[in-house]
Amino acid sequence: MTAPSILIPDPAKAISRTRLLIGGEWVDAADGKEFDVYNPSTGDVFCQVSEAGPEDIDRAVRAAREAFDNGPWRRMSPLDRSKALWRLGDLLVANAEEIGRVETLDQGKPYLMARDGDVPSAANLFYYMSGWATKIEGEVIPISAPGDYHVYTRREAVGVVGCIVPWNFPLVIAAWKVAPALAAGNTVILKPAEQTPLSALMLGELALEAGIPPGVLNVVPGFGARAGQALTEHGDVDKVSFTGSTATGRRILDAAKGNLKKVSLELGGKSANIILPDADIDAAIQGSAAGIFFNAGQACAAGSRLYVHEDVYDQVVEGIAAVAAGIKVGDGFDPTSEIGPLVSSQHLDRVSGYLQSGFDEGARAVTGGARIGDRGYFVAPTLFADVTPTQKIVREEIFGPVVVALKFKELDQVIAAANDTRYGLAGGIWTRDVSKAHQLAAQFQSGTVWVNCYQVFDAAMPFGGYKESGWGREMGHEVLHDFTEVKTVCVKLGG
Ligand code: NDP
């Protein structure tokens, strides 16, 4: 086996792409602005990236419009589009080391997780969606109106699509949106989060290399309030696909009103993870710990509310606390790190505020509960017990390595408690009883339910939210509905 240190790339190597990608060209922002990008493991600035403003967004929209209306992408045979998307998947895999390095620098996650987890997951989206490019079909519909008609539907690309992505899985979530948008024949303006712009720029570069024509994928790093807002308000953007906070999702809806562009939203969560007394308790402990602490808890589907049957409550709480205490938190370039830092100092402040509110409201940290060190934005994996359903840490999305544990007695009581939230993104059930698993799964008000597992994602599995966790679905063939319009053609036959 190769020694881990040999696998780890040099964090100090220069970054190759830091300018905007518009119409296939690498360009500076129109006003010349740049912003600093920080390594969250150290708090140090490691590069500057051009900052898109409204003028750049307008340029990118014009490039995407031109590519959609007059470029080859839409006219290309579905098979050629499919091949280009597959090639992009291959190029992501071929460049996994460099993309992984950049993702770790930007986001902080362990390098091996970025290289061997995020990059292949993103590539899988392009492989999977390349298959759909040749299968976007309409239907022939028999109608009952008097007369003789041939009625059919066509599924057509929506047009110019804005994709706004967050910082927790910068490349993966970009792929969730860009792959289906391109498979359906749309053109795209991708705005990564300002904390993590670099892997999106690499994706844009590799898309050109894969033969995806200039202007089909434009990448415009910038700030939400400026670039994101301009993209969402733009009158020539036909659709916005957004992942991020519920608060920003609401702002997106307001901004989209001008031209009533289509909007899909994948928003926050406060997902319940239920452990029944008949579960394989060791598996439930390990799986539930991974379900919250993975990516330092910065995951929209994180199992952040733990409901444990009273018969096994103490065992589970002790078990998860022991796993949490043993997690190695550290710099993503240290091969022994299992989780990295939070993404930014602002996010550290936000999560620290929740920890404090937990203590203020009388919760007990069985483990963790504090920042680690004073350099970088590390937080100890935390389990709060003695919590009550009305506490802020039980109701609000923390988006950090923090789980709350609640005790229950009856099944109907636990499902009511699990659903007592404005969110509805995901949920977990741990039991050996197949009937109970299916009955509970049916009652969960959430877009995904995991049984005896957690955080399992696949390009073929639709993902999205009930209630305030969003509109529409990512992945699976479901997402193609969100990136296409249905046209009904009604032809009167005969004389
Ligand atoms: P935001 O929702 O604000 O950011 C997500 C994306 O939206 C970023 O690209 C951001 O750009 C952009 N954005 C921000 N404001 C606007 C706007 N007015 N118009 C268009 N785009 C905009 O999340 P935060 O980074 O502020 O994180 C806050 C909280 O949100 C977290 O603590 C967590 O609870 C939740 N969150 C949920 C995520 C999920 O996967 N569901 C992912 C990230 C956060 P920029 O970053 O440049 O401002």
CB 462 within 8 A of CB 259: no
Q: Whose CA is nearest to atom 35 of ligand 1?
A: 245
Q: Is the pLDDT of residue 116 over 60?
A: yes
Half-sphere exposure of 115 (CA within 13 A, CB side): 18
CA dihedral sign of residues 46, 51, 57, 62: negative
Task: Find the 148 Cα to ligand 1 centroid distance in Å.
Answer: 52
Task: Find the 244 Cα to ligand 1 centroid distance in Å.
Answer: 4
CA distance 108 to 101: 10
In one letter, which amino acid is 316?
A: V
- Select from 239, 245, 346, 457 the residue to mutate for testing ligand 1; criterion: most ligand atoms less than 8 Å from CB: 245
Q: Pick the atom of ligand 1 nearest to 192's CA.
A: 9
pLDDT at residue 250 in the model: 97
Q: Is the pLDDT of residue 4 over 50?
A: no
pLDDT at residue 386 in the model: 87
Q: Is the pLDDT of residue 453 over 70?
A: yes
Over residues 212-269, the pLDDT tens digits come to: 999 999 999 999 999 999 999 999 999 999 999 999 999 999 999 999 999 999 999 9
Q: Is 266 a catalytic residue?
A: yes
Task: Find the 248 Cα to ligand 1 centroid distance in Å.
Answer: 6
| Residue whose token pair is 């005969």 | 494
Task: Find the 466 Cα to ligand 1 centroid distance in Å.
Answer: 19
Pocket lined around ligand 1, Cβ cut-off 6 Å: 164-166, 168, 191, 193-195, 223-225, 228-229, 232, 243-245, 248, 251-252, 266-268, 300, 350, 397, 399
pLDDT at residue 66 in the model: 98
Q: Whose CA is nearest to atom 9 of ligand 1?
A: 193
Q: Is the pLDDT of residue 10 over 70?
A: yes
Task: Find the 409 Cα to ligand 1 centroid distance in Å.
Answer: 37
Task: Find the 168 Cα to ligand 1 centroid distance in Å.
Answer: 10
285 is written with which tokens?
A: 């402990």
Over residues 22-49, the pLDDT tens digits come to: 999 999 999 999 999 999 999 999 999 9
pLDDT at residue 3 in the model: 46
CB 490 within 8 A of CB 446: no
464 is written with which tokens?
A: 């999205």
Q: Pick the atom of ligand 1 nearest to 229's CA.
A: 19
CA distance 286 to 266: 27
Number of helices followed by number of strands (H, E) in the chain: 17, 22
Over residues 256-314, the pLDDT tens digits come to: 999 999 999 999 999 999 999 999 999 999 999 999 999 999 999 999 999 999 999 99
Q: Whose CA is nearest to atom 12 of ligand 1?
A: 224
Element (H, E) at 183: helix 170-183
pLDDT at residue 162 in the model: 99
- Select from 248, 263, 471 the residue to mutate for testing ligand 1; criterion: most ligand atoms less than 8 Å from CB: 248
Residue tagged active-site, from 163, 300, 338, 474: 300
Q: Please compute Rg for the chain using Cα positions.
A: 23
Please provide the average confidence, as pLDDT, over all residues in the chain.
97
CA distance 117 to 113: 5
CA distance 342 to 479: 30
Q: Pick the atom of ligand 1 nearest to 398's CA.
A: 34
Q: DSSP string of 54-121?
A: HHHHHHHHHHHHHHHHTSSTTTS-HHHHHHHHHHHHHHHHHTHHHHHHHHHHHH---HHHIIIIIHHH
Q: Whose CA is nearest to atom 15 of ligand 1?
A: 224
Instruction: Give the pLDDT mean for 51-79.
Output: 97
Q: Is the pLDDT of residue 6 over 90?
A: no
| Residue whose token pair is 């590539």 | 123
Confidence of residue 1 (pLDDT cuts 50, 70, 90): very low
pTM: 0.97
Q: Is the pLDDT of residue 16 over 90?
A: no
Over residues 161-185, the pLDDT tens digits come to: 999 999 999 999 999 999 999 999 9
Q: Pick the atom of ligand 1 nearest to 251's CA.
A: 18
CB 492 within 8 A of CB 274: no
Q: Is 163 a catalytic residue?
A: no
Task: Find the 372 Cα to ligand 1 centroid distance in Å.
Answer: 25
Q: Is the pLDDT of residue 317 over 80?
A: yes
Neighbours of 248 (CB within 10 A): 21
Residue 58: CB partners within 8 Å, gap ≥ 6?
A: 230, 234
Q: Whose CA is nearest to atom 48 of ligand 1?
A: 224
pLDDT at residue 2 in the model: 46
Helices (H), 150-239: 170-183, 198-209, 229-233
Q: Pick the atom of ligand 1 nearest to 425's CA.
A: 41
pLDDT at residue 137 in the model: 97
Residue tagged active-site, from 51, 233, 266, 338: 266
Over residues 123-158, the pLDDT tens digits come to: 999 999 999 999 999 999 999 999 999 999 999 999
Coil, strand, or helix at residue 460?
Answer: coil
Task: Find the 229 Cα to ligand 1 centroid distance in Å.
Answer: 12
Q: Pick the atom of ligand 1 nearest to 249's CA.
A: 2
pLDDT at residue 8 in the model: 83
Task: Find the 134 Cα to ligand 1 centroid distance in Å.
Answer: 34
CB 344 within 8 A of CB 38: yes
Q: Whose CA is nearest to atom 40 of ligand 1?
A: 300
Q: Pick the atom of ligand 1 nearest to 173's CA.
A: 40
CA dihedral sign of residues 111, 116, 119, 122: negative
